[in-house]
């Protein structure tokens, strides 16, 4: 019997099985592109826990960054990426991304992605911390959806790719630190094993850890948590990016207003109507996201307000509607006219810089297990992601993974005696536990952190984990278990890092300390959920 690390009861020998050359979990840009590139080399099973089109990629408004302009270069793109990463970006990973990125973007064009053009040339804009226009966009502010459309059209037409929608990946199956595939609950509610010579996790991030987030409901960190339970290493978890400009509106979900709006000239004002960002950074409203988010929080506290305001009125008349049709339409439906009035905004959780530690080819350290996209931590983003680098990262490292998958030998027939019996304690109310976790993370491990709050968060998360119990029978409960596990690890990492760097700000350690803390913190998995993690770096 294996150590108690799986979430459900199962016996591999009695489960129905699907077998492929490659199983890819996740249908955002990273998963779709990897599947497309892997398909010529073997049969692919592509798994998504919702419909094919549901992923964080669909919500990406701003665009995809790549040095394709005449006045730009990979070296300039690298400079901006490293500066945003605040000393923790891995230089070789950034070099790979900025140099291979333009070819990947041009391949998207060849696959039918319809980026916006001006006078016959690709339209390029700026976003925060970019010193040159290098962000490609589509349909104004629907870049992610357009890329997903183009990739999905191709993936669904390839006979060698089988797509399993509404299929929840519960755990990564392993034997002797070798990945065999994944354990899933299929669309009919039945458990089955999907076995493959190589498994790729492209499951996205964990924005649902927080009470306020731009992420869809599916972003519950399933891939990170499952890989950790399987024995993979998670790195840089303390670095969670909070997007500065998210619509503050009590009667609606948290709607992101793209940084590209500021790139086109919009500015931030406080509750008194004063422009404030020039006080905080030379790049003013286009400063790195962590700087802008903290500046907003500071202004809200100083003036006892619940939000600040985005002023897009200075944009040329009608340009807001034409450049950002989706954002403008949504705002008007909610009662705001961005061309005539200020828009209330405040920060919300947006992106996980940390994730499953990988090398430059997506390898995780567990044989046959790979990861790319937001679920992975190859080292590109460091302590703070440069705007619009996320889609590019998924492309570049997805293509690299596909290049080495073919080298994996066939999976041996076993025997594998995988039998697991889960903890049978009755489960508490997962909806209540999830809401409480999100509030704890927002208040204690959010934009501003301190030791007292982080220690209290650890105690409360441990108590919530005991309440959840071990008899987990459905996807919602599995998501909550994954969020609890990741929440505890994020808090532990934030507690260990006694400095402020990038997206991680400690009010009790407000200065950056390169001498002691220009290091990565990583936890090796392979133990039961929420057992004390093993620190392997730092």
Q: Is the pLDDT of residue 89 over 60?
A: yes
- 424-520 CATH fold: Methane Monooxygenase Hydroxylase; Chain G, domain 1 (1.20.58)
**Lowest model confidence (mean pLDDT) among 32-36, 158-162, 211-215, 351-355:** 211-215
What mean pLDDT comes out for the span 96-112? 97
- Every domain of the chain with CATH number 3.90.700.10 lies at 243-348
What mean pLDDT comes out for the span 533-538? 67
The two beta strands, 44-47 and 161-164, are parallel
pLDDT at 4: 55
Q: Is the pLDDT of residue 413 over 50?
A: yes
Burial of 413 (0-12, 13-18, 19+ CB in 10 A): exposed
Q: Is the pLDDT of residue 2 over 60?
A: no
- DSSP per-residue codes, 271-334: TTS-B-GGGT-TTGGGS-HHHHHHHHHHHHHHTT-S-EEEE-TTSPTTHHHHH-HHHHHHHHHT
C-alpha distance across the termini of the chain, in Å: 33
Summarised one tens digit per residue, pLDDT across range 248-298 is 986 556 888 988 899 889 999 999 999 999 999 999 999 888 899 999 999
SS3 233: strand
- 183 falls in which pLDDT band (50, 70, 90)? very high
- 245 falls in which pLDDT band (50, 70, 90)? very high
Active site residues: 289
pLDDT at 317: 63
- 10-239+353-405 CATH fold: FAD/NAD(P)-binding domain (3.50.50)
Compare 62 and 531 and report the one with higher pLDDT: 62
- Every domain of the chain with CATH number 3.50.50.60 lies at 10-239+353-405
pLDDT at 318: 66
> How far apart, in Å, are the Cα atoms of 370 and each of 26, 138, 148, 198, 356?
12, 30, 21, 8, 9
Q: Is the pLDDT of residue 477 over 50?
A: yes
CATH tag for 243-348 (out of 3.40.1410.10, 3.90.700.10, 3.40.50.1820, 1.10.1740.10): 3.90.700.10
**Lowest model confidence (mean pLDDT) among 37-51, 385-399, 410-424, 459-473:** 410-424
pLDDT at 532: 61
Question: Across the chain, what does the average pLDDT equal?
Answer: 91
pLDDT at 316: 63
- 473 falls in which pLDDT band (50, 70, 90)? confident
What DSSP designation does 409 have?
Answer: P
pLDDT at 361: 98
Summarised one tens digit per residue, pLDDT across range 343-395 is 999 999 999 999 999 999 999 999 999 999 999 999 999 999 998 999 999 99
- 60 falls in which pLDDT band (50, 70, 90)? low
What is the share, in percent, of the chain residues with pLDDT greater than 90?
76
- 530 falls in which pLDDT band (50, 70, 90)? very low
Q: What number of helices (H) and strands (E) belong to the chain?
A: 14, 23
- Within a 13 Å sphere around the CA of 459, how many CA atoms are in the beta-carbon half? 6
- Every domain of the chain with CATH number 1.20.58.100 lies at 424-520
The token pair at 13 is 């020998």
Q: Is the pLDDT of residue 538 over 60?
A: no
- DSSP per-residue codes, 336-349: --TTTS-EEEEEEE
């Amino acid at each position: 019997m294996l150590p108690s690390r799986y979430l459900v009861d199962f016996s591999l020998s009695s489960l129905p099985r699907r077998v492929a050359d490659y199983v890819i979990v996740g249908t955002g840009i990273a998963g779709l592109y990897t599947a497309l590139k892997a398909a010529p080399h073997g049969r692919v099973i592509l798994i998504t826990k919702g419909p094919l089109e549901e992923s964080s990629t669909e919500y990406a408004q701003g665009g995809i960054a790549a040095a394709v302009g005449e006045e730009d270069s990979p070296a300039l793109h690298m400079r901006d990426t490293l500066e945003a990463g605040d000393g923790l970006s891995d230089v070789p990973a950034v070099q790979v991304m900025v140099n291979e990125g333009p070819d990947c973007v041009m391949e998207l064009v060849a696959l039918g992605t319809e980026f916006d053009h001006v006078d016959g040339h690709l339209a390029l804009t700026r976003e925060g911390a970019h010193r040159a226009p290098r962000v490609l966009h589509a349909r104004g502010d629907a870049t992610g959806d357009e890329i997903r459309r183009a990739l999905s059209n191709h993936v669904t037409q390839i006979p060698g790719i089988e797509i399993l929608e509404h299929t929840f990946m519960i755990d990564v199956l392993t034997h002797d630190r070798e990945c065999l595939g994944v354990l899933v609950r299929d669309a009919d509610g039945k458990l089955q094993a999907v076995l493959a010579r190589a498994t790729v996790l492209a499951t996205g991030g964990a924005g649902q850890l927080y009470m306020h987030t731009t992420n869809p409901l599916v972003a519950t960190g399933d891939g990170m948590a499952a890989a950790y339970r399987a024995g993979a290493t998670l790195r840089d978890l303390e670095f969670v990016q909070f997007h500065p400009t998210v619509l503050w509106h009590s009667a609606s979900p948290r709607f992101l207003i793209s940084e590209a709006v500021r790139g086109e000239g919009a500015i931030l004002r406080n509750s008194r109507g004063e422009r404030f960002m020039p006080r905080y950074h030379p790049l003013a409203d286009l400063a790195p996201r962590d700087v802008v988010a903290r500046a907003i929080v500071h202004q809200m506290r100083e003036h006892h307000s619940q939000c600040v305001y985005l002023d897009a009125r200075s944009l040329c008349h009608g340009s807001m509607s034409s450049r950002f049709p989706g954002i403008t339409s949504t705002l008007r439906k909610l009662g705001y006219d961005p061309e005539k009035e200020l828009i209330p905004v405040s920060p919300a959780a947006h992106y996980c810089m940390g994730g499953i530690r990988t090398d430059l080819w997506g390898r995780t350290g567990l044989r046959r297990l790979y990861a790319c996209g937001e679920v992975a931590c190859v080292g590109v983003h460091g302590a703070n992601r440069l705007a619009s680098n996320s889609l590019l990262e998924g492309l570049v490292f997805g293509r690299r993974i596909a290049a080495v998958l073919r080298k994996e030998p066939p999976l041996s027939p076993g025997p594998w005696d995988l039998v697991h019996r889960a903890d049978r304690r009755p489960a508490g109310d997962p909806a209540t536990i999830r809401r409480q976790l999100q509030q704890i993370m927002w208040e204690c491990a959010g934009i501003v952190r301190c030791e007292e709050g982080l220690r209290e968060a650890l105690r409360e998360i441990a108590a919530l984990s005991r309440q959840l119990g071990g008899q987990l029978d459905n996807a919602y409960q599995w998501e909550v278990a994954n969020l609890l596990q990741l929440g505890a690890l994020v808090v532990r990492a934030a507690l260990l890092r006694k400095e402020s760097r990038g997206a991680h700000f400690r009010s009790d350690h407000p200065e950056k300390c390169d001498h002691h803390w220009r290091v990565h913190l990583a936890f090796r998995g392979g133990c039961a959920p929420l057992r004390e993690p093993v620190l392997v770096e730092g």
